[in-house]
Structure 1
């Protein structure tokens, strides 16, 4: 490298701006209803000009969608050795992810038609749900069990949670999440271990 050539900064200003804006959105979502979020409020919190946000993301929905993909639940916890317990933990984590401050607004932004023209946000949401469930099911199969199919778990656990949270139905809490698993295991068509 030539002494006159400046060293490249890892990430640089663009990465710092992006991190500051993402953090501002996350912090503001914890403090207020996401309906009260605005680009000027995010810009002020991030210490950037609103024009920077408009230029980079275009709309608040696009910014929320990007932040949504960064703030989803991590990989499922290690197997407890019991399928029912693992499915309850999965259901509770899914509910916690959706009901965290800004959670449902982040989800709606991620799958909004004007943002998600190619339906990639919907596919990504389904992929995240499926990967989490597959980890639980793989552990169960590894113990010699015959667990329900991924599709059945999506229908009986994941879909009801999303539906109830999206439509703000009352009593959608950990007790409800556990009850979905209990109902699944009390279904006579469900293979028993």
Structure 2
């Protein structure tokens, strides 16, 4: 009997199983609803219906809508933008900036950026999610900058890259000033270098 329970627990924890599918469906439902209705204009019930799951599944896993929204932002934006290693800081920054530009102008990108902004002013949980996203982006950038420093290259600090490369791209997408052309991205990287 105990072996059967342990086997069931192991199956439940296995990545890619039902739990992962439900999370992916719920995350996509949130992203779609943000894109269609905007922040604050849907409920857990709306998310559950769109995802094809029971409300209780959403509440059991996330507890409330704000926690779910924070999880969507952190998961979707942090899962993207693998850190390139081209051998030079300029190459790494160009590649990374181009990846970020593709993500934030892609089908879900604007909705996720709007959600991240809305969460940052929506209470303690939202501020925590916003801070976690900033911390993760800073950590990612710092690893790239540390590699450059180890190679003997002059490297700006992570906040300079955030301020002069990522922030302008985010602002353009948030205000609908797209496309983010390769020349525009190249100019951002050149200025920070």
Unpaired segments of 5 or more residues in structure 2? none
SS in 1 for 2:107: coil
In the superposition, relative to structure 1, how do residues 100 and 30 fare at CA in structure 2: closer, same or farther (>3 Å)? farther
Query: Which TM-score applies when normalising by structure 2?
Result: 0.72
1:76 aligns with 2:77: no
In the superposition, relative to structure 1, how do residues 128 and 174 fare at CA in structure 2: closer, same or farther (>3 Å)? farther
| Bigger helix fraction | 2
CA offset at residue 132 of structure 1? 2.0
Find the counterpart in structure 1 of residue 72 from structure 2: 67
**1:1-193 alignment to 2 at 5 Å?**
3=1, 7-8=5-6, 9-10=8-9, 12=12, 18-28=19-29, 34-36=35-37, 39-40=44-45, 42-44=47-49, 46-53=51-58, 56-59=62-65, 62-71=67-76, 72=78, 73-77=80-84, 79-111=85-117, 112=119, 113-114=121-122, 116-117=124-125, 119-185=127-193
Please report the RMSD computed on the Cα atoms of aligned residues, expressed in angstroms: 3.3
In the superposition, relative to structure 1, how do residues 66 and 164 fare at CA in structure 2: closer, same or farther (>3 Å)? same
Q: List per-residue Cα deviations over 1:91-122 (Å, max 9, x = no partner).
A: 11222332333233234434512254472122
Choose 110-119 or 63-72, whichever is displaced more: 110-119
1: CA distance, partners of 2:123 / 2:115: 7
Aligned length: 180
2: CA distance, partners of 1:183 / 1:132: 20
CA offset at residue 171 of structure 1? 2.9
Contact 1:134 1:150 in 2 (8 A): yes
1: CA distance, partners of 2:97 / 2:131: 19
Question: Which of the two has higher C-alpha Rg?
Answer: 1
2: CA distance, partners of 1:118 / 1:41: 20
SS in 1 for 2:70: helix
